[in-house]
């Protein structure tokens, strides 16, 4: 990918993919959309936020104001790479707590944490924990209001790692993207619902202005002048080419049909779990093909035991606790990807039922199971 002197076509394909995604994400024609391929959403998020930090610092410097205390406002539902950004790039992370009954961002809580040092607000389109969507349109309205009251314009970065390849096909009328005035940058993983093998991700900026010029490297690499905005040098162009191939080969219609199939299978699974006496899905009618579910009382909290039982059948279903202040809730999660068929889910449901028999014995760690008791 890096040597576009030797492989000029890869640069052209990358450019085309960026512009196809820009169309999917409704980049306004009057702006000069720009972007890059990355190794995945992690690199894309690091680079997107770094651009926001630099742009904020440049504005502060221009006004003669201090620029040494940048902060970033996010919900507790963000992926761990957001913390990585804060630590590696010296930005204070202002994380909103979840609640025992709310696992996405609360816009009021976000607004309370914004000040003149806020470089951006992060919002997730399909969280790692539950697959739910942050209230993005409401956040945008609140930031528009803040701007009209104070003159401060706070950008939104959308983490569309999964959702970026789902929503444009599953719910094209739902405006979460560049249709919203404050959404300045978006990342998406090509290797999740983009249907490419790892690793490829994408980062898009609404406008060239959102990417400070000093971050763009103009290198004379082995003879040709190139512009790059990445952390890596050498990387495999195969995945960029595969992304291009998929977009052309499947088209909007192909992606829509695959994503609708994934979602209808996910809704089948969520519906079955909603009807069970032991389990309850976080969302019985998920908007994305991600099903998070938990045990009902009195068994709630024993989800990891179910996960261990399922492993005996070869299923790897993660079980984990939700972020603070919902850390007392543990869930199991199934991501229904393209290759997860309805018969596979029926078999999974059977295995969940068999695995649930362990609930008849006392919980692991309970005094009753201790060999000396």
Ligand X SMILES: *Cc1c(COP(=O)(O)O)cnc(C)c1O
Q: Which residues bind ligand X (CB under 6 A)?
A: 40-42, 79, 81, 124, 128, 159, 161-162, 189, 201
Given a contact cutoff of 8 angstroms between Cβ atoms, the answer to whether 171 and 287 are in contact is yes
Q: How far is the CB of 186 from ligand X (least distance, A)?
A: 12
Q: How far is the CB of 129 from ligand X (least distance, A)?
A: 9
Residues 6+ apart with CB under 8 A from 62: none
Closest CA relative to residue 237, chosen from 42, 19, 3, 33: 3
d(CA 250, CA 62): 47
Q: How far is the CB of 173 from ligand X (least distance, A)?
A: 22
Select 3 or 83, whichever has its Cβ closest to ligand X: 83
Sign of CA dihedral 270, 274, 278, 282: positive
Retrieve residue 11's tokens: 């640069």
Q: How far is the CB of 198 from ligand X (least distance, A)?
A: 7
d(CA 318, CA 128): 11
Can you say whether residue 340 is alpha, beta or left, with left for phi > 0 and alpha for psi between -120 and 50 degrees? beta
Pairing, β 183-189 against β 34-38? unpaired
Distances (CA, A) of 342 to 255, 263, 346, 349: 18, 11, 6, 11
Select 2 or 124, whichever has its Cβ closest to ligand X: 124
Q: How far is the CB of 63 from ligand X (least distance, A)?
A: 33
Given a contact cutoff of 8 angstroms between Cβ atoms, the answer to whether 307 and 332 are in contact is yes
Select 185 or 189, whichever has its Cβ closest to ligand X: 189
145: helix, strand or coil: helix
Select 133 or 295, whichever has its Cβ closest to ligand X: 133
Closest CA relative to residue 113, chosen from 71, 144, 77, 153: 71
d(CA 307, CA 318): 7
Q: How far is the CB of 44 from ligand X (least distance, A)?
A: 8
Select 117 or 246, whichever has its Cβ closest to ligand X: 246
Select 161 or 269, whichever has its Cβ closest to ligand X: 161
d(CA 124, CA 132): 8
Select 37 or 128, whichever has its Cβ closest to ligand X: 128
Q: How far is the CB of 139 from ligand X (least distance, A)?
A: 16
Q: How far is the CB of 29 from ligand X (least distance, A)?
A: 28
Select 22 or 46, whichever has its Cβ closest to ligand X: 46
């Amino acid at each position: 990918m890096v040597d576009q002197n030797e492989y000029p076509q890869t640069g052209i394909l990358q450019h085309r993919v960026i512009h196809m995604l820009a169309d999917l994400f409704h980049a306004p024609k009057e702006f000069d959309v720009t972007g890059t391929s990355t190794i995945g959403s992690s690199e894309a998020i690091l680079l997107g936020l770094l651009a926001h930090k630099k742009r904020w610092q440049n504005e502060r410097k221009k006004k003669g104001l201090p620029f040494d205390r940048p902060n970033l406002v996010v919900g507790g539902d963000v992926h761990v790479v957001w913390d990585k950004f804060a630590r590696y790039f010296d930005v204070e992370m202002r994380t909103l707590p979840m609640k025992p009954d709310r696992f996405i961002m609360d816009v009021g809580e976000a607004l309370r944490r914004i000040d003149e040092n806020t470089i951006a607000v992060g919002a997730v389109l399909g969280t790692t924990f539950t697959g739910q969507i942050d209230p993005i349109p409401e956040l945008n309205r609140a930031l528009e209001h803040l701007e009209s009251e104070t003159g401060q314009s706070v950008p939104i970065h959308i983490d569309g790692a999964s959702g970026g390849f789902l929503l444009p096909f599953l719910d094209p009328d739902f405006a979460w993207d560049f249709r919203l005035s404050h959404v300045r940058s978006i990342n998406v993983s090509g290797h999740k619902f983009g249907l490419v093998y790892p690793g490829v991700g994408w980062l898009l900026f609404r406008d060239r202005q959102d990417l400070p010029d000093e971050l763009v490297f103009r290198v004379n690499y082995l003879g040709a002048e190139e512009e790059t905005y990445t952390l890596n040098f050498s990387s495999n162009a195969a995945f960029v080419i595969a992304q291009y191939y998929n977009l052309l080969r499947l088209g909007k219609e192909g992606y829509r049909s695959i994503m609708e199939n994934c979602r209808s299978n996910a809704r089948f699974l969520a519906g079955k779990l909603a009807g069970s006496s032991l389990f309850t899905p976080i969302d019985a009618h998920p908007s994305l093909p991600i099903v998070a579910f938990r045990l009902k009382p009195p068994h709630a909290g024993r989800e990891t035991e179910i996960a261990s039982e399922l492993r005996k059948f070869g299923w790897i279903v993660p079980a984990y606790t939700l972020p603070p202040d919902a850390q007392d809730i543990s869930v199991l999660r199934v991501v229904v990807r393209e290759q997860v068929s309805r018969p596979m889910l029926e078999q999974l449901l059977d295995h969940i039922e068999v695995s649930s028999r362990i609930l008849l014995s006392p919980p692991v760690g309970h005094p009753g199971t201790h060999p000396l008791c």
